[in-house]
Amino acid sequence: MTATGNSAASRDKAFVLHPYTNLHAHETQGPLIIERGEGVRVYDDAGNAYIEAMASLWCVSLGWGEERLVQAAAKQMRQLSSYHIFGHKSHEPGIDLAEKLIKLAPVPMSKVFFANSGSEANDTAVKLIWYYNNALGRPEKKKILARTRGYHGVTVASASLTGLPNNHRDFDLPIARILHADCPHHYRNAHPGESEEDFATRLAEQLEAQILAEGPDTVAAFFAEPIMGAGGVVVPPATYYEKIQAVLKKYDILLVADEVICGFGRTGTFWGSQTLGMRPDILTCAKQLSSGYLPISAVMVSEAVYRACVDESKKIGTFGHGYTYSAHPVAAAVALETLAIYEERDILGHVRDVAVPFQKRLKALADHPLVGEVRGTGLIGALELVADKATKANFDPVGRAGAVVNTLAQENGLIVRAMGDSIALCPPLVIGEDDVHQVFDRLTTALDAAI
């Protein structure tokens, strides 16, 4: 849409400060105005249809126009449109959702804290970890490890956990006490000839060396997405988490699983932690919790973490953390309905079925002249564009080729997401096999046009 007169595009440029956007480029380029959605497709203001193969930032698991979610929201709006749960107030949607999440948790969990976004959930986890260690009389045990290329959000603490340069540079981040371990990307970071198994062993040894260098009594927690999403869909080697967790256990360091993308069936089990063999002490989730229909996130904590927080609160009074909209009743009602639909329609079974052609078509793209690596599990995947397949040399500058393919895909009615030169795919979980083929046909057309 050209930005003329009083068009939405020109008003966008006049009034909106865009999140996560090259602001300088936006001043000339302007926006794509999305007007409506139906199933796995969204439509722009000129009526063009796009398969949304990123589920609107890894969120809209049930696709657009799911009437049951609309009805759940409307019903709750009429009954109790808004209420907080500070102090000793509560309401049934929040209670029901907490109970449901505890039942679904991949490992025994004790309590659920609600927030509104993945960033807030991870920020909450950081604060709980600090509170927990103060409660245990370990004021020095506060450093938190995350990983290079990990993504945990953009609030001050969660952006510090994130290991991507654009989230730190000129924002004066990361804050003190947040450190980064190496990214488990075999294709980019393994030594020549190093097997996946040996690479995982080396990363665990490096982690241990880093913990020893910092002082184990100063390291509190390790944050990890089961599969890294925004860092380029990095699937760690099979034995990685087993080895990492042995190190964490040795030094009494908590594991936080950031399930904001992987949770709720994305990887073919209900939680990414199950697919990847993680046993977290704290689990954060968001996005597909409500199929992205309303903002809501959750932090699940083990009994040990919860009990320590209660002890601390007993000492100092109010546990001074909470959001006005923690457990917002309408968002909670929509999340409950989302979880009910997952069960009733066996969305997990569907993901396992449709993941077969999805992964097959993805793997076939490894033969494309522009593609250095493909990677993925379940209904998440990415391909990495390279200038030279043999040497794995990047295009210069990194990100230009990704942007070109992104644009060409969009011109072919397909929304993907370029992260540097990795092109990510994360379609709604309800996508059918025919549309899976459409996604890869259109992506192949875009790749061919980019050569």
Residue ranges binding ligand PLP (CB under 6 A): 57-58, 117-119, 122, 151-153, 225, 229-230, 258, 260-261, 286
Least spacing, CB of residue 132 vs ligand PLP, in Å: 21
As a whole number of angstroms, the distance between CA 388 and CA 391 comes to 6
As a whole number of angstroms, the distance between CA 219 and CA 250 comes to 12
For ligand PLP, the closer of residues 55 and 408 by Cβ is 55
Residue type, 299: V
- Kindly give, in sequence order, each residue whose CB lies less than 8 Å from that of residue 30, ignoring residues fewer than 6 positions away: 1, 2, 3, 9, 10, 12, 13
Least spacing, CB of residue 228 vs ligand PLP, in Å: 8
For ligand PLP, the closer of residues 106 and 118 by Cβ is 118
For ligand PLP, the closer of residues 230 and 446 by Cβ is 230
For ligand PLP, the closer of residues 308 and 327 by Cβ is 327
Tokens of 364: 């076939």
Residue type, 47: G
Least spacing, CB of residue 325 vs ligand PLP, in Å: 13
Long-range contacts from 40-48, C-beta under 8 angstroms, 24+ separation:
40/64, 40/427, 40/428, 40/430, 40/431, 40/432, 40/435, 42/415, 44/1, 45/1, 45/8, 46/1, 48/413
DSSP letter string, 97-145? HHHHHHHH-SS---EEEEESSHHHHHHHHHHHHHHHHHHTT-TT--EEE
Distance of CA 314 to the CA centre of its chain: 34
Tokens of 9: 């595009």
For ligand PLP, the closer of residues 190 and 262 by Cβ is 262
For ligand PLP, the closer of residues 258 and 373 by Cβ is 258
Least spacing, CB of residue 190 vs ligand PLP, in Å: 23
**Closest listed residue to residue 293, CA positions, set 57, 60, 37:** 60
Least spacing, CB of residue 253 vs ligand PLP, in Å: 20
Strand segments, DSSP code E, in 208-274 are 219-224, 254-258
Least spacing, CB of residue 256 vs ligand PLP, in Å: 11
Least spacing, CB of residue 157 vs ligand PLP, in Å: 12
**Closest listed residue to residue 260, CA positions, set 129, 152, 145, 382:** 152
Least spacing, CB of residue 231 vs ligand PLP, in Å: 9
For ligand PLP, the closer of residues 133 and 288 by Cβ is 288
Residue type, 79: Q
Least spacing, CB of residue 46 vs ligand PLP, in Å: 28
Nearest residue to ligand PLP by CB is 118
**271 touches 263 (CB < 8 A):** yes
For ligand PLP, the closer of residues 152 and 186 by Cβ is 152
Q: Is 265 exposed, middle or buried (0-12, 13-18, 19+ CB in 10 A)?
A: buried
Least spacing, CB of residue 276 vs ligand PLP, in Å: 13
Residue 206 CB neighbour total at 10 angstroms: 13
- Can you say whether the dihedral through the CA atoms of 295, 301, 306, 308 is positive or negative? negative
216: three-class secondary structure by DSSP? helix
For ligand PLP, the closer of residues 232 and 237 by Cβ is 232
For ligand PLP, the closer of residues 229 and 372 by Cβ is 229
For ligand PLP, the closer of residues 122 and 245 by Cβ is 122
**Closest listed residue to residue 128, CA positions, set 317, 331, 304:** 304
Least spacing, CB of residue 424 vs ligand PLP, in Å: 11
**152 touches 258 (CB < 8 A):** yes
Tokens of 303: 């009994």
